[in-house]
Chains A and B, each alone.
Chain A
Amino acid sequence: MLKKSSQEKITCFDLEKTLHELKHYLPSQAPLKDFVHHNTLHAFQHEFFHKGLHKASKLFGYQTYLTIEEYRNLFIQKKIDERVLDRILLSKKGGNKEEWKEKGLNKNYDSHIIQRVGKFRELWKKKYKINLDKYVHPTLFRLLGSYLDQGISIDGFPINKQGFLNSVLELHNSSIIKLFTSQRVNQLIKDKAVSLQELLKMVVGKEEFFEYYLFDQQFAHPGWSGMAAVLDDNEYLLLDKRNITLKDFITLELLLEIDVLDNKFGETWKPLALSVEEDNLNLFSKIEYDELYDILSMWQEAYEWSFFDFVLKGLQVKQDRLKTQPTFQAVFCIDDRECSFRRYIEKNEPKCETLSTAGFFNVAFYFQPEHGKFYTKLCPAPQFPSYLIKEYEASKRHTKDVHFNKNTHGFLGGFISSPTMGFWSMFKLAKSILFPTQTEALISSFKHMDRNGKLSIEANALQKENNLQLGFAKEEMADRVEGLLKGIGLVNDFAPLVYIIGHGASSVNNTHYAGYDCGACCGRAGSVNARVAAFMANHKEVRDLLKLRGIEISVNTQFVGGLHDTTRDEIEFYDEEELNEENKILHSKNKITFEKSLSENAKERARRFLLVNNKSNTKKTHEEVKLRSLSLFEPRPEWNHATNSLCIIGKRENSKHLFLDRRAFLNSYDYSIDKDGTILLGILNAVAPVCGGINLEYYFSRVDNYRLGAGTKLPHNVMGLLGVANGMDGDLRTGLPKQMINIHDPLRLLITVEHFPQEVLRIIKINQATYEWFKNEWIFLVVIQPDNKSLFVFKNEEFEPYLPLADEIKKVENTQKMFEGNAENLPICLIN
């Protein structure tokens, strides 16, 4: 008896488990204001990279690699190195290498994409000749969208009663016009007998098909389902709170389906599983070996290592270290966009030192700008800090624009505003198209915080607000500064000025603006963090505490916070008036260096902007680059992280001789002060998900822009301030729009660490979540041994020696000449 019931349980449908699985596979993208990059296929991350990609493709119909023709073209263009390809074939196929090479180059494959998801539910169309989605989707999306809407509609959803489903049913009950017209559905609602399991019985019939059906149903609109799932688990993401669960959403969809079917066929239709004879339907059954995917995986690796091989060769070049007192030190974010900026600073002031760490500078807190009604989280997304910093004595930074005023949509409001404001719009439009200038719609990184305002950084008494501590105590500050400085290996030889520079972006007409700001600050500009970190490091008592911990900072050394706008290539500094007289003079000198470097950086970036002439002089090009952030018609204010593919963890002196073409995240690290490996562990714990997430989101948005990316952004329509969709009744689009990935090459991230392989092997195994990234090769890891610069690549859970195949790396005297008029990827080369 007992045995039987336990057996039943195995075949039984487990609702909670299925909901959990669904949430796992659905896109997990937050509403637009909190857009943060993450691995699009995170659900497959527990599998080996190539296996995960094959599986994702077969299950959901994603294109997970470039097409085989694209790889072959890259081979012809010599962007895939034949020697690298041979080496990979040899390691994977051994003696059959030639045979496989022939297959890779010439064999015809049937590359039609066939997906499992959707196969069961499409039987409605085959059996009943009904396109359910056509009737269900518009109502479903409209109900959910109206309910979640954060402020577009004038009349919001009239009821907000204990969750989504209850509110919808209440609306149905209290309205004369009914949402559901089927007798049966009305009866169910009346009897308060709406339960997901029962509805599934009505629609699907057989329990063993429930899971398949739900996957089919939800993956017909992964965007909206994903939004419901994300908000189910993270209610705090909405400023105007809504209570929603994925279960409610699915229940409503099933109700709508029954309603449509009843209206069409009366109550005589049979559940889907009972009306068709389908045996071979199993969503998660084993995926058969497919030679094409084997070939694709080898092409992909050949493509990746053709580039990496060069980089590693370049990183092996030994540098002589000239140790002098640096004129200034500047700490940046690890962001790849800072890579070239630092190169120019180093060129213009060879005696300076640049460093980098994750752009929240080890200070995690919530921030409340003056007049703000809410808090903004300023640290990596997975962290939940318990501190709050408030801004005060700041000026207003939000101006109104009548064009966004909803009165223009009314009867009388529109009647009055069209003939009056309408003509004003005409001038405004003409002006902004012919001569773009700053408008109310601009999102400017400098507006994140008022530089003349004040911050409550230091906690006087331990006051609390909403369970958050107001400001930091001295000990807490010292902890953070110590962590920051040790993390980047800056524990002695402080220059008179140490800059801490966050970054942000500016744009207009950009729905994905949050993705352009600092990922380590949860999609906000890094200005507050930079300023806070500088304040803490300047604090006298904090320095006294640091001295006890072995970090001695001279009285003459001052820290200066700043913000680099990566779109406009502008910089601003905070609390400059606090500098002493000598430092003020030095600072004004350094500012000239920064300004010059910014313009040169803008010019280098302009090579990728085809409509900007990057051959004209530096200043002029810089002005053109600035204009992009103000132009309504510019879908690409900047390229953001496009082309990223490297992450170099180590001393800057070992990479600064290389021209890395803005493709590298850089993280300063000195292995010699990291005795027990905690620093490296901390870095890898942050870098793997952040940079890996960015990298893979770009990868997947590039290879399948339709399904894993958001498609072209040009027709996008903003839905309830949550997301974008096409047209009126489209599904929410997740991932990156096409305009962000045009120039991106889909390569996985290569992390190089300057350390000894045995030590790194020990450290990466400490945190399983981080280890998974490397073990399953979603990120490549190479260790460069500091003493002899030999290379070790992490493979099959151990480090193997790696010998680069590349010839000597070329030295380039004039990089400007190399990139002028060239919009393509440039080779890695030696500079200075």
Chain B
Amino acid sequence: METNYVLLSFVIVPLLGFLLSLIFSSKNEFSLSRIAIYTTFFQFIIVVGFILYWITLGTPYINIKETVLFKNNEYEFYIDFFFDKITAVYLFTGSFVTLLITRYSRYYMHLEDGYKRFFNTILFFYLGYNWTVISGNFETLFIGWEILGISSFLLIAFYRERYLPVRNAVKVFSIYRIGDIGLLAAMWASHHLWHENITFLKLSNYHLVHEHLMAHSDIGLFIGLSILTAAVAKSAQFPYSSWLPRAMEGPTPSSAIFYGSLSVHFGVFILLRTFPFWEQQFMVRIIIGLTGLITAFISFFITRVQFTIKTQIAYASITQIGLMFIEVALGWHTIALIHFAGNAFLRTYQLLVSPSVVSYLIRDQFYHFVPVSKTVNNGIKNKFRNTIYTLSLKEWYMDYFMSNVFFKSLKGVGKYLDFLTPKNLLFYFIPLYTIGVYFYLNESSLPYFLKEYLPEFIALSGLLMVLKAFSERNFPRLAWLLVLFNHYCVALAVSFNEKFELQETLLYLSGVSVSGLIGFLVIHAIRKKEPQQSDLNMYYGYVQKYPKQALVVLLCSLGLMGFPITPSFIGEDLIFSHIQERQYFLGLFAALSFIIGGIAIIRIYARLFLGPYCKPTSSNPLKSS
């Protein structure tokens, strides 16, 4: 039973540290850094102690069902913790690096605006890290996953008064959300495969997995690829690699801990974690290995042309992670784990000493310079070399693809709903929704074909609304409401399924409605105060003028996107468990609308509150800085 408490303490300690760090004033550097150092130090001691104890036990698998958060006849949402070799390595590496980084930052961040914010976010991240690492089922893991996403966003946008960090933070957050689709889909499909929230422990039962997969090989493939999507996005693999160098916007230690070492290795983690599940699917293993190979190949070339130190380290790290993917696919787990820890330490150190590169390399150049002769010949070799060079300089079009093709086409869809304005929205929405509710109440009178397609239709309209919210340029309130209404659409769509209870709908809608409403009112108030300057065409940086409102809207945004601070989070999972196996379109629409809704919401928050303040009265940063 003690192990129960020890495992729990791995998340309780960072949580307490995080909560405590919220109390102190930003002027109180001493206490803030002390809390962070004590938290990470204490955690490090328990981690090391426990790992040693666990080794004396003979490195068993430990699985502990902590608490049940929600339960009805056929569905149970519970927090589950799991400890094995993978957990041990990730826990150790994480706690060690974080301990060093917090001590480093204590001096490094001295006198910086946002000293408090920095330590708050680091501790919040640390909570997410530990939570994810010790999670024992998909639901628990998803909570940690979301915390990682948000803390990443906050740390990249740490210098929120500048344009580029904010833009890049939104960019990275968007790609993270794409990864989340994978996780949501994997969760949904595995509900149907196992008819329960299966623990990772059970997955390691070879025969059980084998038996199920024999019956549902297509679902097996689907889950495998979904997991890969999540892993690829989180670990900046092909074709998402371009986010990692763009994430290097925060203070150097935060870049080192997030993007150099810990956060970026979560793709490898989730693959290792779910390995028993896809181990028997040759196809999945091939695809994972290939993804790793392609990434390693491409980023190898991109690394070679980087002329900035941090992007060079970023791409070098991506190359290694690509190799780790191959190792995992081959089943070489111990090697992958050693590779992970080594790479994490190496890149952390390289990033932390990156400013030294100037003096070091200039000195090196001073003493060892040999001029390179650039021969011009028109041979095919030359052409090939220059082509590779140009291609690598353009990052093999990965960034171009993400922003100019992928997201742009999503925005293109939203443009079809440009006739909507905040004023007329309700005129469209209320009648439509009323009809929907009417059908729901009189379900029996519905013709069969309608009944068959109605849920999909409603979910699709929800998705369209979210796309409109995502592409909206003028009315933040409209975009905000559209995301809120989408939740109502999804709830309604799923309600058509027989076993869905009203209580579950209420659970789901409670959180989003409250945060949606509060957020709407705050944005409305700001719109009234700044009628000329509160559209979504640019960044307005109102956090400088309205810091309190910004915090409220941030919290509401989290609530509205189904972040685990409101009951909606459980509701979201419930909803998915009710989407039936054959309703993959409904599942797709719902998942997409959650994900894009999240991006739309963070975009509203970023545009209104972050970035250079629109009416500066003192020194203000240049957009390109």
Chain A residues at the B interface, C-beta cutoff of 8 Å: 32-33, 61-63, 67, 111-113, 133, 137, 139, 142-143, 145-146, 149-161, 170-172, 174-179, 220-223, 239-240, 371-374, 398, 401, 403-404, 408-411, 414-415, 417-423, 425-426, 428-430, 433-434, 440-441, 443, 508-511, 513, 610-611, 631-636, 703-707, 711-721, 725-731, 733, 739, 742
Which B residues between 2 and 61 are near A, CB-CB below 8 angstroms? Answer: none
CA distance A373 to B345 in the complex (A): 34
CB distance from B143 to the nearest CB of A (A): 29
Q: Among the listed B106, B165, B363, B367, which residue makes an inter-chain contact with A726, where contact means beta carbons less than 8 Å apart?
A: B165
Pick the contact of A441: B312, B356, B386 (CB < 8 A): B356
The docked-state distance in angstroms from the alpha carbon of A251 to that of B138 is 55
Which positions 226-256 of chain B face chain A at CB distance < 8 Å?
245-246, 248-253, 255
Q: Is there contact, CB below 8 Å, between B252 and A714?
A: yes
Q: Take A33-B362, A429-B352 as given contacts and tell me if A160 and B374 are in contact as well, using a CB distance cutoff of 8 Å.
A: yes
B212 CB contacts on chain A under 8 angstroms: none
Q: State which of B390-398, B421-429, B492-500 sits at the interface with chain A.
A: B390-398
Which segment, of B72-80, B108-116, B503-511, B577-585, faces chain A?
A: B108-116
Task: Please give the distance in Å from A449's CB to the nearest CB on chain B.
Answer: 13
Report Cα–Cα, A401/B253, bound state, in Å.
20
Q: Which of B107, B108, B164 contacts A730 (CB 8 A)?
A: B164
B393 and A142 form a contact (CB under 8 A): yes
Q: Is the CB of A727 within 8 A of B248?
A: yes
Q: Which of A61, A139, A718 has the most CB of B within 10 A?
A: A718
- Tell me whether B69 is interfacial, beta carbon within 8 Å: no
Contact indicator A415/B323 (Cβ below 8 Å): yes
Q: Looking at the complex, which one of A139, A146, A175 makes contact with B307 (CB distance below 8 Å)? A: A146
From known contacts A372-B366, A434-B103, infer whether A152 and B357 are also in contact, taking CB-CB under 8 Å: yes
Given A158-B374, A177-B387, A726:B308 Cβ within 8 A: no
Provide the residues of chain B in CB contact with A433, threshold 8 Å. 100, 103-104
Check A728/B308 contact, CB under 8 A, given A176-B387, A415-B320, A426-B96. yes
Chain A residues within 8 Å of B431, by CB = none
Compute how far the CA of A689 lies from the CA of B252 in the bound complex, rounded to whole angstroms. Answer: 35
Chain A residues positioned under 8 Å from B323 (CB to CB): 411, 414-415
A293 vs B383: C-alpha distance when bound (angstroms)? 59
Task: Spell out B's residues near A (CB within 8 Å).
Answer: 96, 100, 103-112, 158-159, 162, 164-165, 168, 245-246, 248-253, 255, 296, 300, 303-313, 315-316, 319-320, 323, 338-339, 341-346, 348-350, 352-369, 371-372, 374, 376, 378, 382-383, 385-387, 389-394, 615-625
CA distance A414 to B475 in the complex (A): 49
Residue from the list A372, A411, A429, A430 in contact with B319, Cβ < 8 A: A411
A663 to B521, CA, bound (A): 53
Q: A111-B618, A728-B308 are in contact. Are A409 and B319 (CB under 8 A)?
A: yes
| CA gap between A156 and B304 in the complex, in Å | 8
A428 and B345 alpha carbons, distance in the complex (Å): 10
B307 engages A719 (CB within 8 Å): yes
Shortest beta-carbon distance from A464 to chain B in Å: 22
A429 touches B309 (CB 8 A): no
A511 and B353: CB pair below 8 A? Answer: no
* Given A113-B620, A714-B112, A731-B622; 15 other pairs, CB 8 A cutoff: A113-B617, A155-B305, A171-B389, A175-B387, A410-B300, A410-B303, A419-B343, A425-B345, A429-B100, A440-B360, A510-B355, A636-B110, A717-B308, A717-B310, A727-B248
Contact A239 B342 (CB under 8 A): no
Contacts of B392 in A (CB 8 A): 155
Whether B165 and A632, one on each chain, are in contact in the complex, defined by CB atoms closer than 8 angstroms, is: no
Q: Which residue of B lies closest to A727 (CB)?
A: B249
List 6 A-B pairs, Cβ < 8 Å: A174-B383, A401-B360, A403-B349, A425-B350, A433-B103, A633-B103
Taken together as a complex, chains A and B put the C-alpha atoms of A434 and B44 apart, in Å, by 15
By the criterion CB–CB under 8 Å, are A409 and B366 in contact? no
Report chain B residues within 8 Å CB of A733: 625
Residue on B with the closest CB to A513? Answer: B359
**Least Cβ distance of B279 to chain A in Å?**
23
Contact yes or no, A411 B112, CB < 8 A: no
Q: Which residue in chain A gives the minimum CB-CB distance to B309?
A: A718
Task: Please determine whether B361 and A150 come into contact, CB atoms closer than 8 angstroms.
Answer: yes
Specify which chain A residues have a CB less than 8 angstroms from the CB of B364 in the assembled complex. Answer: 151, 398, 404
B308–A145 touching, CB < 8 Å:
yes
Residues in B neighbouring A63, C-beta threshold 8 A: 618-620
Select B107's contact among A404, A611, A728, beta carbons within 8 Å. A611
Determine if B624 and A426 form an interchain contact, defined as CB atoms under 8 angstroms apart.
no
Chain A residues with Cβ below 8 Å from B344 are 422
Q: Which residues of B contact A142 (CB under 8 A)?
A: 307, 393
A177 & B110 in contact (Cβ 8 Å cutoff): no
Q: How far is the CB of A168 from chain B (nearest CB, A)?
A: 10
Residue of chain A at shortest CB distance from B391: A177
Query: In the complex, are the beta carbons of A398 and B111 less than 8 A apart?
Result: no
Task: Say yes or no: B367 contacts A371, CB within 8 Å.
Answer: yes
Whether B618 lies near A374 (C-beta < 8 A) is no
Complexed CA–CA distance, A582 and B622 (Å): 63
Distance in angstroms between the alpha carbons of A496 and B391 in the assembled complex = 69
- Determine the chain B residues whose CB is within 8 A of the CB of A179 once the complex forms: 390
Q: Are A418 and B346 in contact (CB under 8 A)?
A: yes
Chain B residue with the shortest CB-CB distance to A179:
B390
- Determine which of B304, B346, B349 lies in contact with A155 in the assembled complex, contact meaning CB atoms within 8 Å: B304
Report the minimum CB–CB distance from B156 to chain A (whole Å). 9
Q: B481 to chain A: closest CB distance in Å?
A: 25
Q: Which single member of B111, B311, B363 contacts A728 (CB below 8 Å)?
A: B311
Choose from B100, B359, B386, B616 the contact partner of A510 (Cβ within 8 Å). B359
Among B109, B311, B619, B620, the one with the most A-chain Cβ atoms within 10 Å of its Cβ is B619
Docked pose: A811 CA to B65 CA in angstroms = 74
> Per a CB cutoff under 8 Å, which of B164, B342, B615 touches A423?
B342
Return the chain B residue nearest A507 by Cβ: B359
A403 touches B624 (CB 8 A): no
Alpha-carbon gap, A170 to B385, bound state (A): 13
CA distance A418 to B335 in the complex (A): 11
**Residues B100 and A430 in contact, CB atoms below 8 Å apart:** yes
B103, B249, B393 — most chain A CB neighbours (10 Å): B393
Closest Cβ of chain B to A118, distance in Å, is: 9
Across the interface, do A714 and B316 meet the contact criterion of CB distance under 8 Å? no
A439 shortest CB reach to chain B, Å: 8
Contact B309 A632 (CB under 8 A): no
Chain A residues with CB under 8 Å of B362's CB are 32-33, 150-151, 239, 721
Give, as a whole number of angstroms, the nearest-CB distance from B491 to chain A: 37
CB-based contact A411/B296 at 8 Å: yes
CA distance A372 to B364 in the complex (A): 9
Checking A62, A373, A403, A632 against B369 with a beta-carbon cut-off of 8 angstroms, the contacting residue is A373
Residues of A within 8 A of B111 (CB): 610, 739, 742
- The distance in angstroms between the C-alpha atoms of A242 and B217, with both chains bound, is 60
Given contacts A112-B617, A418-B342, A729-B164, contact A398 B367 (CB under 8 A): yes
Q: How far is the CB of A199 from chain B (nearest CB, A)?
A: 21
CB proximity of B367 to chain A, nearest CB, Å:
5
- With A171-B389, A433-B104, A706-B621 as contacts: A153 and B306 at CB distance below 8 Å: yes
A379 to B316, CA, bound (A): 41
A residues less than 8 Å from B353 (CB atoms): 403-404, 441, 509, 632
Given contacts A146-B305, A422-B343, A611-B107, contact A408 B164 (CB under 8 A): no
B367 close to A175 (CB less than 8 A): no
Q: Within the assembled complex, what's the spacing in Å between the Cα atoms of A137 and B318?
A: 25
Asked whether A67 lies within 8 Å of B343 as measured between CB atoms, the reply is: no
Q: B105: which A residues are within 8 A, CB to CB?
A: 633
**A143 to B393, Cβ gap below 8 A?**
yes
The docked-state distance in angstroms from the alpha carbon of A636 to that of B107 is 10
CB distance from B401 to the nearest CB of A (A): 14
Closest 10 interchain pairs by CB? A422-B342, A441-B356, A409-B316, A425-B349, A419-B342, A422-B346, A714-B251, A149-B307, A418-B342, A418-B343
Q: What residues on B are CB-neighbors of A149 within 8 Å?
A: 307
Q: Which residues of B contact A508 (CB under 8 A)?
A: 356
Instruction: Please give the distance in Å from B91's CB to the nearest CB on chain A.
Output: 15
